[in-house]
Amino acid sequence: MTNSDEMFLGGTTVFDHEFPNSTSIRKIAYNKVTQNLIVEFRNPQLKYEYKAIPEEVVTELISATSAGRFLSDNIKKAGYSYRVLS
């Protein structure tokens, strides 16, 4: 378990998590109060902000075998509101 996981599970309001083995997602940042999830992709290097993402969904994303597939199937296709940050 990484430090970011420990902070998240310990109740920190904002946390980051890196995905060193993912070919699509570089890292995420999540705010438990606003429920906004920022996803930084590897290629192209874009950042998206998804709104109103439940904490349980973020926990499942972190635990997923394929973070990119989970994001596509459970966040993008679920119709959560988003915007491109860069």
Express each pLDDT in 19-31 by its tens digit. Answer: 999 999 999 999 9
| Distance of alpha carbon 47 from alpha carbon 32, whole angstroms | 18
Q: Which domain holds residue 11?
A: 3-84
- Residues 69-78: what's their mean pLDDT? 97
| Distance of alpha carbon 36 from alpha carbon 29, whole angstroms | 8
- What φ, ψ does residue 72 adopt, rounded to 5°? -60, -50
The count of domains in the chain is: 1
Output the furthest CA–CA distance in the chain (Å, rounded). 33
Above 50 in pLDDT, residue 14?
yes
CA dihedral 25, 31, 34, 35 (to 10 degrees): 50
State CA 46 to chain mean position distance. Answer: 13
Say what the pLDDT of residue 9 is.
47
Reported as a pLDDT band with limits 50, 70 and 90, residue 11 is low
Express each pLDDT in 39-70 by its tens digit. Answer: 999 988 899 999 999 999 999 999 999 999 99
